[in-house]
Amino acid sequence: MAPAARCLPALVGSVRAGFPSPAEDLGAQAIDLTQVLITHPQATFLLRARGTSMVEAGIFDNDILVVNRALQPRHRHIVVGVGECEFTVKTFTRPPAGIRLQAANPAFADIVPVPGQSLEIWGVVTAAIRQFVA
């Protein structure tokens, strides 16, 4: 028996977030969010953000983060790091001496590993998904 076909939402155009404009062509086309958001399926994971340390980067409590472990982190990428057996999401920076995981909320301290402290970059955040209405 063949698997049931997936019903995908249609992408009907774009919408301005400023002043209203006349409607664009409403020709609908199916959009598969997996294809849009995931470039390395075997290395991509979804994690739920907890806390407010990244609000100024647009990541809020309860957002779903798309994390790609196949990407190498670059300066200013948002990453998931793990240190002291705890996961965190921060902005990856490379100052002249070492690395820094920078919070995007002034109420939170940055993470600067000291000699002997383990800190691993677990993956690069490629997208955040926020649900407005449950």
Domain ranges of the chain: 36-129
Confidence at 4, pLDDT banded by 50, 70, 90: very low
| Residue of 14, 21, 90, 118 with catalytic role | 90
For residue 4, the 8-state DSSP code is: P
Q: What's the pLDDT at 20? A: 59
What is d(CA 68, CA 60) in angstroms, rounded to the nearest whole number? 19
Q: What's the pLDDT at 114? A: 85
Tell me the per-residue pLDDT of 57-82, one tens digit each, with 9 for 90 and over: 999 999 999 999 999 999 999 999 99
Res. 89: pLDDT tops 70: yes
Catalytic site includes residue 21: no
Average pLDDT, the chain: 85
Dihedral, CA of residue 74, residue 77, residue 79 and residue 84, to nearest 10: 60
Tell me the per-residue pLDDT of 107-120, one tens digit each, with 9 for 90 and over: 999 999 888 888 89
Question: How buried is 88 (Cβ within 10 angstroms: 0-12 exposed, 13-18 middle, 19+ buried)?
Answer: buried
Q: Provide the percentage of residues in the chain whose pLDDT is more than 70.
A: 79
Q: What CATH number should be reported for the domain whose range is 36-129?
A: 2.10.109.10
| Residue of 14, 21, 53, 118 with catalytic role | 53
| Tokens encoding 103 | 């919070």
